Amino acid sequence: MIIAEQKPLDEIMGLLGSDERVLVVGCGTCVTVCFAGGAREAAIVAASVRMTSKLNSVPREVTDVTVQRQCEWEYLDEIKEQISDADIILSLGCGIGVQAIAERFPDKWVVPGLNTTFLGMPTEQGVWIERCAACGDCVLGITGGICPIARCSKSLLNGPCGGSEDGHCEINPDIDCAWQLIYDRLSRLGRLDALLELQPPKNWSTSRDGGPRKITRDDLRLAAEEE
Amino acid sequence: MEGDCHYLLGNINARRRVEFVRNLLLEIGLEASRVQMFNLSSAMGGQFAEYAAKLTEEIRQLGPNPLRKDPLYTTETSTGE
């Protein structure tokens, strides 16, 4: 899932400026599961903004609403009247949600309440860790299900660097060396030969090197929407 | 007592959540000391009264909640469903 965390309240207050009618929009998908921008967090942020504004004598009306997914028009259309009534939208969605609102409501000012941080998973309650870099050319089939792009600090593709020490990364001993993990796992499963196969250079054009990415599936498109 | 909860580690979890709320109050601009947590057993009536008196006195010195009874402070929310 997409992992995000809330911006400090001070920064949020700065982004809101002097706009009076604020609509806090939570998202019911990834940021709900990582406790950053779901209905509960939207209500807490709305109350916090309300209280801070009152303490600073800033006139303000704050309401909150949470949609199932901020990154799809159909869910945003459900709240178009509330958006229309607001001077400013504080999105608690990921960066995609913020941009979806900006694109769907071109006349409305929208600001982010979260920092979108990475694609990852919880390893225990309250702890999230990066697992995927969305490089667009998955190598997990060679590396035993452990991603060297997301989990090696240097995104190396040819084994550990000299900074790997006792299975830990030189940038932080709390980080496991991804290549040590890969080697140990392949070794345990008797599949080390997978690493001996020659691999062509990785195609980074599917990653950010190729610019903003897009997928088009003709089998799913509707004839009327084709351009 | 800390870590010696009927719900095992429940009061340690509770303390972390109380800390979250105290930090939130500070961010908002209110005094964190308006929310405090004390560990007590149900058999410690005297100690309970002591803590209650201490907290009451501290909050009395802070004065009333500045956000109370204000038309700007609405609690209106909606769910969009």
Residue type, A59: P
Predicted confidence at residue B65, as pLDDT, reads: 87
Cα–chain-centroid distance for residue A211? 18
Residue ranges of chain A with pLDDT lower than 70? 225-227
Write the residue in B28, B72, B74 that is nearest to A59 by C-beta.
B72
Residue listed under structure tokens 């709240």:
A79
Write the residue in B28, B79, B80 that is nearest to A9 by C-beta.
B28
Instruction: Give the pLDDT band (50/70/90) at residue B80.
Output: very low
pLDDT of B79 over the 70 cut:
no
Which residue is closest to A58 within chain B, CA to CA? Answer: B72
Q: pLDDT of B14-65, one tens digit each?
A: 999 999 999 999 999 999 999 999 999 889 999 999 999 999 999 999 998 8
Domain locations in chain A as residue ranges: 2-118, 133-210
A200–chain B Cβ distance below 8 A for any pair: no
Please answer yes or no on whether A63 and B66 come within 8 Å at the CB atom. Answer: no
Q: pLDDT of A127-159, one tens digit each?
A: 999 999 999 999 999 999 999 999 999 999 999
Cα–chain-centroid distance for residue B60? 15
Q: Is A120 in contact with A132 (CB distance < 8 Å)?
A: yes
Chain A closest-CA separation from residue B77 CA (Å): 5
- Kindly report the CATH class assigned to A2-118: alpha beta
pLDDT of B78 over the 60 cut:
no
Instruction: Give the pLDDT band (50/70/90) at residue B81.
Output: very low
Write the residue in A8, A54, A63 that is nearest to B76 by C-beta.
A63
Residue A219 neighbours by CB distance under 10 Å: 4
State the ipTM, two decimals: 0.79
Cβ-Cβ contacts under 8 Å, A62 against chain B: 74
Q: Is A64 in contact with A25 (CB distance < 8 Å)?
A: yes
Cβ-Cβ contacts under 8 Å, A52 against chain B: 27-29
Beta bridge partners of B5: B8
- What the block records as the tokens of B19 is 């800390």
Q: pLDDT of A157-190, one tens digit each?
A: 999 999 999 999 999 999 999 999 999 999 999 9
Rounded Cα distance between B57 and B67, Å, is 20
Cβ-Cβ contacts under 8 Å, B29 against chain A: 51-52, 55-56
Cβ-Cβ contacts under 8 Å, A61 against chain B: 74
Q: Which residues contact A8 (CB under 8 A, 6 or more apart)?
A: B27
Rounded Cα distance between B21 and A30, Å, is 23
